[in-house]
Amino acid sequence: MDNIANANLNPQVIRPQYDRKALQSRIVHLGFGAFHRAHQALFTNEMLEKTGSNWGICEINLFGGEALINQLREQDHLYTVAEKGAQSTAVKMIGSVTESLHPNFDGKEAILSKMAEEQVAIVSMTITEKGYCADPATGRLDKNNPLIKADLANPREPDSAIGYIVEALRIRRELSIKPFTVMSCDNVQENGHVARAAVLDFASLVDQELASWIEANVTFPCTMVDRIVPAATAETLAEITELVGIEDPCGIACEPFRQWVIEDNFVNGRPEWDVAGAEFVEDVVPFEEMKLRMLNGSHSFLAYLGYLGGYPHISDTMTNEHYRQAAFDMMMKAQAPTLTMPEGTDLEGYAKLLIDRFTNPSLKHQTWQIAMDGSQKIPQRMGGSLRHHLANGSDYKWLAMGIAGWMRYISAQDEKGDAIDVRDPMVDQFKAIYKEHGINPTAVRALLGIESIFGTDLIENESFINEVTNAYQLIITKGARAAVASL
């Protein structure tokens, strides 16, 4: 896609109208993945159209993604986003990215130098739950994480995102340069607090004075991000080529819906993302809880039970009336009653909108993709709601079925006996449990004993253990489809 700016593109492609030469790298973003391309970079692109400001983004992939960074450079850091509705598709060329770096091409020093540049006001991240190197049970830094151990041994040459942030802040402090804001855009509950805890814990192990300076001077706003962005497949890229009129290996497809709620807590200025539809608020938590429980919780439910039921995509599960009803009930009966929302929030309207979004046949969102890293997701998507129902004696059968579906999925064998490619940081622990128990209800108690996922309280609740065991038994004897229909 060389010279994309001058290429003979299809007329429906919406191109940037602002002066890209005037942009500066004022945001450094860690994690140039599909979601970021279709979300924060797109919001920034639309903000630039409306403000003519100079907030450009320097993209950094710390692990993998070399080919993507190479391709991005070849096309002058331009790429396209196809927003696919059920009826029509909008194609936008994104121009907010100014430059890119990768440790394998440019070295660690170049990345640290960039992060330390005076004009950089925000370091943002989409590094997934595991990128924070936090212990899910405590929310604090996991000092035994191999990346963290290596970075603590050699903090001037970091590998982890947390190590890079702390070292860049150390350099800024030494040079008397104002610090940047650290902004997490990951699907992590109170993501700003998680980032802050990890950064401060790491800094205090390196240099207590530096940790105190970060605590006093750096802000970590929480954000809630929402947009369904399936991983790019060969099919997606072929479709983008057709829509754009030229190949774009960096292109991405997503749904038309998007949401970004941001805690307005920036230490060194921020873009006016609100002109592009973002919402700045004092407290993100209620919106975050709503999204994590209602959208992400039901997404996980559909991912595990959908994959086991033979459905490759979320939209496929919606063709089954039982899955459709169970997802809606999961939102309204299991998740909504556990939320405390600002007055006037229409949770039923939100649930209906989510079902419509899940049904969009233009989005090929794989159940397998959403099923990844369940050990990191289940505590946030289902744990809080479960504890609410257990404390109040209310019905949580949809949550129990979702957890049982996850347990059956991580056995790494589907209902036909074929292998499941389980991607999870705790996959070795799951293998050991299944080696001992086989696909058998006795595996339930062993899995519930994993403290980093279920804490120490749930394994002591016999009625909860029985509920999950019964759901698991139903899945292994009757299959996922029948189990969902039973709800």
In tens, the pLDDT along 152-209 reads: 999 999 999 999 999 999 999 999 999 999 999 998 889 999 999 999 999 999 999 9
Q: Cα(431)–Cα(328) distance, rounded to whole angstroms?
A: 32
Question: What integer pLDDT is reported at residue 3 of this predicted model?
Answer: 60
User: Which of the pair, 232 or 302, is modelled with greater confidence?
Assistant: 302
* pLDDT over 70 percentage in the chain: 99
SS3 for 447-486, per residue? HHCCHHHHCCCHHHCHHHHHHHHHHHHHHHHHCHHHHHHC
Sign of the CA dihedral with 393 first, then 399, 403, and 404 last? positive
Query: What is the side-by-side strand order in the sheet with 122-125?
Result: 97-101, 55-60, 24-30, 122-125, 181-184
Asked if 396 contacts 403 with a C-beta cutoff of 8 angstroms, the reply is no
Q: Cα(373)–Cα(185) distance, rounded to whole angstroms?
A: 17
User: Per mean pLDDT, which range of 2-11, 96-105, 311-320, 472-481 is the poorest?
Assistant: 2-11
User: Per mean pLDDT, which range of 211-220, 353-362, 399-408 is the poorest?
Assistant: 353-362
Q: Across residues 223-227, what is the average pLDDT?
A: 95
Q: Which two tokens stand for residue 23?
A: 């942009």
- Asked if the model's pLDDT at residue 6 lies above 80, the reply is no
Task: Please list, in sequence order, all residues whose beta carbon lies within 8 angstroms of the beta carbon of residue 183, skipping any fewer than 6 positions away.
Answer: 122, 123, 124, 125, 192, 220, 221, 223, 262, 266
Question: What integer pLDDT is reported at residue 4 of this predicted model?
Answer: 72
What's the predicted TM-score (pTM) here?
0.83
List, for residues 244-296, the tens digit of each pLDDT value. 999 999 999 999 999 999 999 999 999 999 999 999 999 999 998 999 999 99
- Asked if the model's pLDDT at residue 1 lies above 70, the reply is no
Q: Cα(136)–Cα(382) distance, rounded to whole angstroms?
A: 13
Q: Where is the domain boundary, 257, 281, 305?
A: 281
Q: Are residues 237 and 348 in the same domain?
A: no
Q: Across residues 340-359, what is the average pLDDT?
A: 94
Q: pLDDT tier at 231 (50, 70, 90 boundaries)?
A: confident
State the CATH number of the domain containing residue 461. Answer: 1.10.1040.10
Strand runs (DSSP E) across 359-482, as ranges?
A: none
Question: What integer pLDDT is reported at residue 372 of this predicted model?
Answer: 96
Q: Are residues 271 and 289 in the same domain?
A: no
Q: Which two tokens stand for residue 381?
A: 């998507």
Q: Are residues 103 and 196 in the same domain?
A: yes
Question: What integer pLDDT is reported at residue 471 of this predicted model?
Answer: 98
Q: Which domain holds residue 195?
A: 4-281
- Strand-pairing partners, residue 362, are none
SS percent in the chain: helix, strand, coil, step 5: 55, 10, 35
Mean pLDDT, the chain, rounded, equals: 96
Q: Are residues 274 and 171 in the same domain?
A: yes
Alpha carbons within 13 angstroms on the beta-carbon side of residue 153 total 8
Q: Cα(487)–Cα(479) distance, rounded to whole angstroms?
A: 13
Q: Are residues 475 and 381 in the same domain?
A: yes
Q: Across residues 323-344, what is the average pLDDT?
A: 96
Structure-token match 């998680």, residue found: 194
State the CATH number of the domain containing residue 172. Answer: 3.40.50.720
Tell me whether strands 122-125 and 24-30 are parallel, antiparallel or unpaired. Answer: parallel
List, for residues 394-434, the tens digit of each pLDDT value. 999 999 999 999 999 999 999 999 999 999 999 999 999 99
Q: Are residues 435 and 373 in the same domain?
A: yes
Q: How many domains does the chain have?
A: 2
Q: pLDDT tier at 138 (50, 70, 90 boundaries)?
A: confident
Q: Across residues 19-34, what is the average pLDDT?
A: 98
Q: Cα(196)–Cα(289) distance, rounded to whole angstroms?
A: 19
Q: Where is the domain boundary, 265, 281, 297?
A: 281
Please count the helices (runs of H) and the strands (runs of E) in the chain. 24, 11
Q: Are residues 290 and 235 in the same domain?
A: no
Q: How many residues does the chain have?
A: 487
Q: Are residues 187 and 313 in the same domain?
A: no
Q: Where is the domain boundary, 246, 281, 316?
A: 281
Q: Are residues 270 and 304 in the same domain?
A: no
- Strand-pairing partners, residue 141, are 134
Question: What integer pLDDT is reported at residue 230 of this predicted model?
Answer: 87
Q: Are residues 258 and 396 in the same domain?
A: no
